[in-house]
């Protein structure tokens, strides 16, 4: 089914904003964070106006309503990724915290000096730094699947690394710089055959593709609400039940306990064992509303629309002399176009585009090693979502020609 983008855009109030008089926003930065539909904004507003109370503790009406809404959102999220049980969905602050949770609990309980962890050269810092910290603390070994010149993973080298019997393989499903959609099911299958546990950074894939944790057979998967039309400050970690039950708690405090004595405690059952303290309740409600919105449109429909926009954007960008786009062709990537422009720093590109209301991202996008791989300090990045249009792509191209004129 084709997407009625003009109708979709009516659901996003911010897309009608003039960032300066007569200049309407052209939002091409959804990889950093997505915009929010009115249904998400209203769901959170309605929670605070009608049902706000702490959860899991009170027996009064507001507390019971809040608890029900919080847990109903968890059920929606679990169904969205086809988790066997909502108990396997742990609320976190974001993808970063989800990966850190695995590093601080499962990894510290199971990895020892000399154990091998396989990552890739295209990882976001969120899936690099926690493992660097563990390597410094425990002496684990880190190895990396190389990225080819066309922005794909070198699976031949991956095969060689697997022969060294790694304990963990942690990788991104979709690169936030190159847009590359990695063959997650194949990478996970090979890791399991080698006896390794797998972690999938799905921050960029879950918002844009239909992701099924059972089909992937992934052990842990991390993603964030704010990249999938939901609020900031909340994300999720999916994990296989046996792994989660064997892991020690992440943070200590209220709600993550079954019983506390002066000299001991017993942790709570899943998922609460990993959710210490008062959580982001309104944000969970917004997370659930975002899932409802995505389901109402259909992930296949969203993916098809983004592919069409991305293909068009790449064709238009390639017509500009001196501009280089990084990453694979449109059939192997999501809605991301990162590029450099001869003689112009990416921040200058972004600043000039902003004069016409065009919002893109410039920098290393929390992926410095990947930029070093390509011998560049930074890129300009335009990214697309279900509300993006070809007209916005055309405005981007016009803006880049303006950059070319300014810098000669």
| pLDDT 10s digits, 197-235 | 999 999 999 999 999 999 999 999 999 999 999 999 999
> Domain end: 296, 321, 348, which one?
296
Residues 359 and 374 in one domain: yes
Q: Is 36 within a domain? A: no
Whether 213 contacts 135, CB under 8 Å: no
Task: List pLDDT tens digits, range 80-135.
Answer: 999 999 999 999 999 999 999 999 999 999 999 999 999 999 999 999 999 999 99
Q: Can you tell me the distance from the alpha carbon of 256 to that of 268, in angstroms, rounded to the nearest whole number?
A: 5
Residues 343 and 283 in one domain: no
Residues 111 and 161 in one domain: yes
Structural domain for 335, as ranges: 5-30+298-407
Q: Is the peptide bond before 167 cis (omega within 30 degrees of 0)?
A: no
* DSSP H helix total and E strand total for the chain: 15, 17
Q: Is residue 345 annotated as part of the catalytic site, yes or no?
A: no
What is the pLDDT confidence band of residue 276, given thresholds at 50, 70 and 90?
A: very high
pLDDT of res. 1 = 64
Element (H, E) at 283: helix 281-297
Q: Is 35 within a domain? A: no
- 58 has pLDDT over 90: no
Which of 155, 304, 359, 366 is labelled catalytic? 366
CATH number at residue 67: 3.40.640.10
Q: Residues 168, 335, 16, 398: is their CA dihedral positive or negative? A: positive
Alpha helices in 83-128, H assignment, sequence order: 95-102, 108-110
Q: Can you tell me the distance from the alpha carbon of 211 to that of 207, in angstroms, rounded to the nearest whole number?
A: 9
Task: List pLDDT tens digits, range 292-311.
Answer: 999 999 999 999 999 999 99
Instruction: Give backbone dihedrals phi and psi of 345, rounded to 5 degrees, phi first.
Output: -70, 140
Q: Percent of the chain at pLDDT above 70?
A: 100
Q: Is 213 within a domain? A: yes
Q: Can you tell me the distance from the alpha carbon of 338 to that of 348, in angstroms, rounded to the nearest whole number?
A: 15
Element (H, E) at 103: none
What is the pLDDT confidence band of residue 196, given thresholds at 50, 70 and 90?
A: very high
Which 3 state secondary structure label does DSSP give 199? strand
Q: What is the mean pLDDT of the chain?
A: 97
How close are the terminal C-alpha atoms of the chain, in Å? 44
Which 3 state secondary structure label does DSSP give 305? helix
What is the pLDDT confidence band of residue 2, given thresholds at 50, 70 and 90?
A: confident
Q: Is 12 within a domain? A: yes
Which 3 state secondary structure label does DSSP give 344? strand
Q: Can you tell me the distance from the alpha carbon of 48 to that of 186, in angstroms, rounded to the nearest whole number?
A: 44
Residues 115 and 10 in one domain: no
pLDDT of res. 251 = 95
Residues 164 and 132 in one domain: yes
Residues 96 and 215 in one domain: yes
């Amino acid at each position: 089914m084709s997407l009625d983008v003009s109708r979709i855009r009516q659901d996003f109030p911010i897309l009608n904003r003039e960032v300066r008089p007569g200049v309407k926003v052209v939002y091409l930065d959804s990889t950093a964070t997505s915009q929010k539909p009115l249904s998400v904004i209203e769901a959170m507003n309605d929670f605070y106006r009608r049902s706000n109370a702490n959860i899991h503790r009170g027996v009064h009406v507001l507390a019971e309503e809040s608890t029900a809404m919080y847990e109903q959102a968890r059920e929606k999220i679990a169904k969205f990724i086809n988790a066997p049980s909502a108990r396997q969905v742990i609320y976190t602050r974001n993808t970063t915290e989800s990966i850190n949770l695995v590093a601080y609990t499962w990894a510290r309980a199971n990895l020892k000096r000399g154990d091998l962890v396989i990552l890739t050269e295209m990882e976001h810092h969120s899936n690099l730094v926690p493992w660097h910290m563990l390597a410094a603390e425990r002496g684990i070994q880190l190895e990396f699947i190389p990225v080819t010149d066309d922005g794909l993973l070198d699976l031949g080298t991956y095969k060689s690394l697997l022969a060294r019997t790694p304990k963990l393989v942690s990788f991104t499903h979709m690169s936030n710089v190159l847009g590359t959609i990695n063959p997650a099911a194949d990478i996970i299958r090979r890791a399991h055959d080698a006896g390794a546990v797998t972690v999938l950074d799905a921050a960029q894939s879950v918002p844009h593709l239909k992701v099924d944790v059972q089909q992937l057979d992934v052990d842990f998967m991390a993603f964030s609400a704010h990249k999938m039309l939901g609020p900031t400050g909340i994300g999720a970690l999916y994990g296989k039940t046996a792994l989660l039950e064997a892991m020690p708690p992440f943070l200590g405090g209220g709600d993550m306990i079954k019983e506390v004595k002066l000299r001991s405690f017993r942790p709570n059952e899943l998922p609460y064992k990993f959710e210490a303290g008062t959580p982001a309740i309104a944000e969970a409600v917004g997370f659930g509303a975002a899932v409802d919105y995505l389901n109402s449109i259909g992930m296949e429909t969203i993916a098809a629309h983004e592919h069409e926009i991305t293909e068009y954007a790449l064709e238009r960008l390639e017509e500009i002399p001196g501009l280089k786009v990084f990453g694979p062709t449109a059939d192997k990537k999501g809605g991301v176009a990162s590029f450099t422009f001869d003689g112009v720093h990416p921040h200058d590109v972004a600043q000039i585009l902003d004069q016409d209301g065009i919002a893109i991202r410039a920098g290393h996008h929390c992926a410095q090693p990947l930029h070093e791989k390509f011998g560049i300090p930074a890129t300009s990045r335009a990214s697309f979502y279900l509300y993006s249009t070809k007209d916005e792509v055309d405005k981007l191209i016009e803006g880049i020609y303006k950059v070319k004129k300014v810098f000669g």
